[in-house]
């Protein structure tokens, strides 16, 4: 596909405007030195910087005619028809592509489990004391003892290693599963909020091979999931405008599961698109046809 300068410039400007709207508040807070317990996660836990997210990539197989800024960017090569991502990027990312494809395919093959109720956040503060929790600025809705009682009254079934590894030492034995990095492809399931958020990580790790529109779709999804994650947490974030999802109650559990299922459905779409990109990029015959000409 060859995009005329008017075409790719329109997509580039639309992408930049979309990202600016999504990250503007974060950048303002960062300049003022103000932390945010919900949205900072997208820029601290994940390593993709706002400036990287703002840089538009068309994906492998798209040639940009005219004088695109991409000509000076890493991974791009010039050909008779214009500038495009070089196929040599695939060789350098082969191991990542294979791993991401395997993880996405395995996750998509499993049914969504929606009975965890976000207890991973509660397990991260289980049996702590004031001064020991991550978001110390914000109080625990039920206090420390009340939080401990909720953990002890529920079965914890966290399958995501990057959530489990932040459990307190007292909470880890309470988890019915023992996720590890090595077991991640065999344990990841599509109902997990963190698995849904991590679609953003797998998308940006494939940059510049995949279209930036897909990366931002994953980023938007991660941001919305993160809000539910923290609304269902033991923290009182009402001063920030976040009404709690009280998972310790029957009504709160029902609300959490409904939202979790909706996010799982949206995540399935993003996951399928990412998986299709991986399959395309790992097809030798297809890639050879996409070499810039």
Give the length of the chain: 293
Both structure tokens of 175: 């988890």
Residue 251, C-beta contacts closer than 8 angstroms, at least 6 positions apart: none
Q: Which stretches of 124-244 are DSSP H helices?
A: 143-152, 161-164, 184-187, 193-197, 199-205, 212-231
Residues 266-279 pLDDT 10s: 999 999 999 999 99
**Sheet with strand 2-3: strands edge to edge:** 2-3, 63-64, 82-85, 76-79
Query: Residue 223 above 60 pLDDT?
Result: yes
Q: Which domain holds residue 106?
A: 2-289
The count of domains in the chain is: 1
Residues 148-203 pLDDT 10s: 999 999 999 999 999 999 999 999 999 999 999 999 999 999 999 999 999 999 99
Which of helix, strand or coil describes residue 286? helix
Q: How far apart are CA 16 and CA 13, in angstroms?
A: 5
- Residue 192 phi, psi (nearest 5): -70, 125
Q: How far apart are CA 26 and CA 35, in angstroms?
A: 9
Q: Are 183 and 165 in contact (CB under 8 A)?
A: no
Residues 58-116 pLDDT 10s: 999 999 999 999 999 999 999 999 999 999 999 999 999 999 999 999 999 999 999 89
10's enclosing H/E stretch is: helix 5-32
The overall pTM is greater than 0.75: yes
268's enclosing H/E stretch is: helix 250-281
3's enclosing H/E stretch is: strand 2-3
Q: Are 174 and 149 in contact (CB under 8 A)?
A: no
Which of helix, strand or coil describes residue 235? strand
Residue 205, C-beta contacts closer than 8 angstroms, at least 6 positions apart: 96, 100
Residue 234, C-beta contacts closer than 8 angstroms, at least 6 positions apart: 121, 122, 125, 140, 141, 142, 147, 150
Binning pLDDT at 50, 70 and 90, where does residue 12 land?
very high
- Minimum mean pLDDT among 37-41, 135-139, 217-221: which range? 135-139
**What is the structure's pLDDT at 286?**
61
């Amino acid at each position: 596909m060859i995009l005329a300068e008017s075409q790719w410039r329109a997509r580039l400007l639309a992408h930049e405007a979309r990202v600016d709207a999504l990250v503007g508040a974060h950048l303002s807070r960062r300049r003022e030195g103000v932390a945010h317990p919900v949205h900072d996660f997208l820029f601290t836990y994940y390593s993709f910087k706002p400036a990287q997210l703002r840089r538009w990539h068309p994906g492998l197989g798209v040639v940009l005619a005219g004088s695109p800024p991409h000509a000076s960017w890493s991974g791009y090569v010039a050909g008779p028809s214009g500038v495009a991502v070089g196929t040599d990027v695939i060789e350098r990312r082969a191991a990542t592509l294979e791993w991401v494809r395997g993880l996405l395919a395995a996750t998509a093959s499993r049914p969504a489990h929606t009975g965890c109720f976000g207890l991973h956040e509660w397990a991260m503060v289980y049996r702590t004391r004031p001064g020991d929790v991550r978001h110390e600025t914000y109080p625990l809705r039920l206090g420390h003892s009340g939080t401990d009682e909720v953990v002890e009254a529920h079965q914890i079934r966290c399958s995501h290693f990057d959530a489990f590894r932040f459990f307190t030492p007292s909470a880890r034995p309470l988890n019915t599963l023992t996720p590890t990095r090595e077991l991640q492809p065999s344990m990841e399931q599509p109902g997990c909020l963190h698995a849904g958020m991590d679609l953003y990580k797998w998308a940006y790790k494939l940059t510049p091979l995949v279209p930036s529109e897909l990366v931002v779709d994953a980023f938007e999804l991660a941001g919305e999931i993160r809000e539910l994650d923290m609304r269902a947490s033991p923290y009182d974030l009402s001063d920030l405008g976040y009404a709690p999802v009280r998972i310790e109650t029957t009504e709160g559990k029902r609300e959490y599961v409904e939202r979790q299922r909706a996010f799982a459905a949206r995540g399935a779409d993003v996951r399928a698109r990412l998986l299709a990109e991986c399959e395309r990029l790992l097809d030798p015959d297809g890639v050879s046809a996409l070499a810039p000409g």
